[in-house]
Structure 1
Amino acid sequence: MELWRDPEWHEYIFTGGTSSVLDFPLMIEAADTDDGPFMRPLTDDEVRAWAPHGRPTYEEWDAALDSEQLDFPRRARGNCTVLYRDGRPAQVAYWGVTAD
């Protein structure tokens, strides 16, 4: 947490970074359209576009990525969503594009 207060670390992350999920310093609101580097959860409508019941499983998420029903975000952005097993939250899925 200390690093996120360091201006030199900001310069490193925002101009090159680690080329991983570590490049996303914070999560923004699902409806926020700000440019990255941020992690953004999907809106309910975005989830229901590929999982109509609104409680996607890992298998549904994986199939949505493979079939391109679910897009990758633009450069320096990440998305995430809760995945369910037996109707209960079980995992968080993260996917995105690094800034490099």
Structure 2
Amino acid sequence: MGASGWDYHVEYQPDLGKALRELRARVFAEGDYWWAEPCEFGKSAMDFPNRPRTEEELWSSELVRESGTHSILDMHEIVRPGENPDYCTVEPVTEAEALRSAGVGLASLTRAHVDRIEGLAERRWFGRCAVLHDDAGRPAEIYFWGASGD
């Protein structure tokens, strides 16, 4: 099947880890992920009434652990400043990356810059995130994106 790209915009909150946890919970509840057990391409978990009821149940499947969900569910934590990104982690965009990719600092990133920063998610099974600002320069949302699944 290969990896799938995914992206999400969520309302801004200062705790990126909490934002990730809430996004994961929403995606799971909505069934907006690929479920490897029925292994039907072109369908999401929401197409199956018998889909897992908990994430624990979902990840108990060896097939799911090997193939992933092709969604944010494959990402488990936010990388802290100074830490190296690891498999299944989300790394926030750095000031240097924002300047190099979008030509603006982190405090000036907006939705208009998304196409310029998307290339920062270069590796499969790793995610990225960035705080996006409104026209007045206030943090407005968090953009999560990456690619995962096999």
TM-score range (shorter-chain normalised) is: 0.7 to 0.9
Where does the alignment leave 5 or more consecutive residues of structure 2 unmatched?
A: 1-24, 26-53
Q: Percent identity?
A: 28
In the superposition, the TM-score normalised over structure 2's length comes to 0.51
Instruction: Point out the structure with max Rg over C-alpha.
Output: 2
In the comparison of the two structures, how many residue pairs are matched? 94
Where does the alignment leave 5 or more consecutive residues of structure 1 unmatched?
A: none
In the superposition, the TM-score normalised over structure 1's length comes to 0.73
Offset of 1:52 from its aligned partner? 2.2
Offset of 1:61 from its aligned partner? 1.9
Structure having the higher helix fraction is 2
Q: Which runs of 4+ in 1 moved over 4 A?
A: 1-4, 10-14
Offset of 1:41 from its aligned partner? 0.7
Partner SS, residue 60 of structure 1: helix
Instruction: Pick the aligned partner of 2:104 from 52, 55, 60.
Output: 52
10 and 23 in structure 1: CA distance in 2 versus 1, 3 angstrom threshold: farther
Q: CA RMSD in A?
A: 2.6
> For 1:57-81, what per-residue CA distance to the aligned partner results, in whole angstroms no more than 9, with x for missing partners?
101223x15xx7x432301010000
- 2:9 alignment partner in structure 1: none
